[in-house]
Every structure is written in structure tokens, then in C-alpha cells.
Amino acid sequence: MKKPKCRIEKTNAVVYCRVSTDEQVENLSLGTQEQRSITYCSQKGWMVTRIFRDEGQSAKTALRPEFQEMVKYCKNEHNGIGFVVVNDLSRFSRNSGDQIAIRAELYAAGVMLRSVSEPIDETSTGTLMANVFAALNQFDNDRKSERTKTGMQAAAALGRWPHKAPIGYVNQRPSGDGPNIVPDPERYGLIQKAFELAATGLHSKAEILRVITNLGLKTVQGKPLPMQTFQRVLVNPFYAGWMVFSGQDTPIRGSHTPLVSQEMFDSVQDVLAGRRPNLTGYQKQRVEFPLRVFVRCGHCGKPLTGSFSTGRKSKYPYYRCRENCEAVTAKPDELHAKFIAWLEQMAPKPESMVAIKNTIREVWTQRQGDAEELRSVLKRKLGQVELRKTTLVDRWLDGKVDQSIYEESIGRITAEVESVRSELRGTELEHLDLELVLQFADRIILRPARLWVESSLEQKQRLQKTLFPGGVEFDGKQFGTVSTPLFFNLLERDLDDDYGLASPTGFEPVLSP
């Protein structure tokens, strides 16, 4: 991390708070983050000049309204900001590359990032810890994504759509093994009419949309259907009975009633795209080239591509520079062997992990306390919502609520119950989770080469980005990094004796200019 040109001690600070769901906005999470951060600033003698709050925003991306405004505000020299304070680093970002890049951007402007829960600063040890927690937060986020995917797969196994019903359908409470989505009696006929008109190839999309709008098609909010939404309707295989999930290539047959036949859906795709739709996925990456695009040419700086050359008897794989500068051409086995050897040289001594694990345990304990506080709030809220549901059912059974009001209310309350339960599941921090995190830290820092060799293609690519957010270069002979790697270069410096970290040998060479 480069030092700012002029470092003047500044005692003004801003506080940044974030929650990822609307449910968290309503409970104590934002208020708790804000109060703890303000108390932290007071203890340090810093004046809080502004508080930024992102409500219902995911930290997978840095494109959050208040976050971007906060960065802009801090970089304005007239505001005299010296510190950005967060309750914990997961509030700042759950993407390790974003955290490192934006922290460096702020540092160049003379602004330091501080966490109430984690011991980070600009020393080599503090920077190491910040990068460790950045990787762990991304690891935790990836695990949650995998759990969500598992939940979707479980719903898909029953043929159920786990999201809001697309236009033309309405959500309903499933009965037994039945569907959870049924045709909307007010709109499904108009959606069918749109497909029928599109299949003829005689009308433009604008004309079709105008026709069905005049026939009465509107959104749930009572507004005309936007053209962009209508275009998505015409290419959505859901209307032909298929469910397609993000990150999953192969569509699954749903239990819902299709609004159009497969033949009609295919005909519409022919008209729109001039080809038959491919409802099965295709392989976007090849296992022969896990370093494709990730590694850049050390001479021209362009990403390496992977392709097969035709020989006398067979086709042979090669990595090549995309710009045909011909400086780098390597067989996959040779490039992979050099990459593995490079990773092995970077591994620090095992005793380096003692201090890191101790800090992880301390922070984990703190997070468990925060999670228990949130769980208490959510349990009270769940009890209140379930009581409302029980009261509604009792009043309906006693004949005090008519059928139409009951059906309208029970669906809304049931969805609220499931939403709170989902939040509760998200706060679970079991002892097993901590052990998995410690195992992860062990494997990724102490044995990166072995982990890379044993991983699948997707896991290799994720590991590469975690270790080297800025990418790596290869000049035909050796690897090097453009920017500081996530862990290893930091361990090369002299670290604080209190942390008991040892400096390893054999760090990567610097590429020639």
C-alpha cells in the first residue's frame, strides 16, 4: 500500500453502517452499529462529522449509494476526514478485492479504515489482519451463497419457484406436493396472447405490447408493463414450464402450469433470435485452462488465453498472449507446474498462524454476542407474527373473519413468518462454523499450492482471485504480482513481536519492466 504524498494528522471521522435486508433495517442492527462506532470514535478522541447508512444493501459489490457517497466525501480535502469507522469489516465489504482496492484509495487520500471489532491499522501486522478478515468475510459470503443455492435446489426438487411470481402468475400457499405458483386469472390470458402474436412473426414487440396493454395488461401496481420487462417475458422459459436459477446452467421442470406450449415458446425464440433455444447449459470454462485470463503477459500486460493447436496426430493445448505479441507461449502442464512451485515458495512458517487464529477466535466471540442480540430481537418479532397468525386463524374458524379477508391476510402473514425465520437462520454461528473458518485459514495460507492442486476448476479460480485480487503476470520464465498479494508479501516484513509472526523466505520475484 503506497503512502499518501502528505500525511497530516486529522481527527475528523465518518461512520459507515450497512445492513443487507429490509428486516434488519427494522431491528436494532443499524442502531447498534452506529452507537458502537460513535463510542469507539469518542474513545479515540475523534470527532464524527457524518454518518452514512446503507439500508438493505449487499456488500458483494461496492456500488452502494451511501458507500460511494462516503468515499467521495472522504476524498474531499475540505472535509478534513482522517478515519472511516465501521462496526466490523463485513459492513465495509464482503469482497476481498473491493476492500483492498478501496482501502488503498482512501489511504492515498490520507484516510484510514478502522474497525470496532477487528484490530487493524497501517502496520504490516494490522494490514495483514485486515486482509485475512477480508478473505474470511468473502469466504463466509460464498458459504451463504452456497446455502442459498442448496435451498433453491431443495425447492426445485419439488418443482417450486422460490421467488416472487413473474407477471401472469401469483404466489400461493402450496398444498401437499402442489405448486406454490398458479396462473393469475386477471393476466395469464394476456400473456398467452402476447406469445401467440409474437410467434406469427408479423408484429413488432412494440406493437404487441401496445395491443395487450390496450386489452388491460398492467403490473400488480396498476401501471403499464415497461418494454424492458415485456422483453424479458418473451424470452423467459418459465412460461413454458421451466425454472432457471442463477448460477445453474440446466433448467428444471417446474410444478406450475405452463402458460404456453414448448413449441410456441420455441417459435417465439426463432422469431426473436433466429435460432432454436438451448435449454441446457454449456461449459463456459475449460478444465485445461484454469489460469486463462487470470494470468497476464509480463510484456504487453494482456490476459493470456487458452486454445488448442492442431498437430500431426492430435490437438495440443497452449496458453498464449491475446495480442499475439508472441512473448508468452506455454503448455498448460509447464505453466501450472511453475505456478504451483511459486505458491509453495510463498508459504509462511506454521507458527505464523498462532496469532492469526487467536485474533480470529476473539473476533468470532464478539460476533457471536452480536448475533445473539440480533437473534433475541428476531425471536421476539417471530413470536409476535406467529401470534397474529394464530389469532387470524382462530377468528376465521369462529366465523369472525370472512374467507376473502382471511385468504388475503394469511398469505401476507405466512410470508412474514418465513422472512423472519430466514433471518434467524442467517444469524446462526455454530462452533462448527468457527472450526471451518480456522481450517480455511490454515489451508489457504499455509498450503496454498496443495489446495490449488486439489481444487476443482471453479474452486481454483476463486482461490486465485482470493490470493491475488490484482492478478499475476508471467514473462515466459517466472511469475510476479502487479500489486501486493493478499497475504504473503505482508508476512515478508518484520512483524510485531507481540504477534509472534515469522518472516518466510522465497517470496516471488519482481518482474522486469
- pLDDT tens, position by position, 276-311: 333 333 334 678 899 988 898 988 888 888 888 887
> Do 52 and 16 form a contact (C-beta atoms < 8 A)?
yes
Query: Quick one: average pLDDT of 22-50?
Result: 80
On the question of pLDDT at 435 being above 80, the answer is: no
Same domain, 126 and 26: yes
Q: What is the pLDDT of residue 513?
A: 33
Listed in sequence order, the DSSP H helices in 186-226 are 188-200, 205-214
Residue 191 lies in a domain: yes
Assess whether 178 and 97 both reside in one domain: no
Quick check: is 49 in a domain?
A: yes
Cell of 88: 466490523
pLDDT of 73: 94
On whether both 96 and 23 belong to a single domain, the answer is: yes
Q: What is the pLDDT of residue 151?
A: 58
Looking at 249, 273, 297, the residue that finishes a domain is: 273
Statement to judge: residues 402 and 428 lie in one domain: yes
Q: How confident is the model at residue 41 (pLDDT cuts 50, 70, 90)?
A: very high
32 and 127 in a single domain? The answer is yes
CATH of the domain at 198: 3.90.1750.20
Q: Are both 41 and 119 inside the same structural domain?
A: yes
Beta strands in 81-131 (DSSP E): 81-86, 112-115
In a domain, 421, yes or no: yes
Residue 458 lies in a domain: no
Query: Looking at the structure, do residues 137 and 170 belong to the same domain, yes or no?
Result: no
In a domain, 510, yes or no: no
**pLDDT (mean) for 443-459:** 81
Whole-number percent of the chain with pLDDT over 70: 78
Q: Output the domain CATH number for residue 119.
A: 3.40.50.1390
Domain boundary among 433, 462, 482: 433
- pLDDT score at 357: 76
Q: What is the DSSP letter of 347?
A: -
Beta bridge pairs of residue 310:
315
Q: Are residues 143 and 178 in the same domain?
A: no
256 and 197 in a common domain: yes
Q: Quick check: 146 and 247 in contact, CB under 8 A?
A: no
Q: Let me know whether 35 and 134 are in one domain.
A: yes
Q: Which domain holds residue 249?
A: 165-273
Look at residues 273, 306, 331 and tell me which one is the last residue of a structural domain.
273
Specify whether 22 is located in the same domain as 76: yes
Question: In this structure, is residue 419 part of a structural domain?
Answer: yes
Q: What is the pLDDT of residues 231-262, one digit of tens each?
A: 999 999 999 988 887 666 677 788 888 999 98
pLDDT, tens digit, 9 for 90 and up, residues 383-397: 998 898 889 888 888
Number of domains within the chain: 3
Question: Residue 224 has what DSSP assignment?
Answer: B
pLDDT exceeds 70 at position 156:
no
Q: Per-residue pLDDT averaged across 419-426, rounded?
A: 70
Domain annotation covers residue 455: no
Say yes or no: 178 and 114 in one domain: no
**Ranges assigned E (strand) in 346-455:** none
**In which band, very low, low, confident or very high, does the pLDDT at 401 lie, cut at 50, 70 and 90?**
confident
The three-point CA angle 82-83-85 to 5° equals 165
In a domain, 194, yes or no: yes
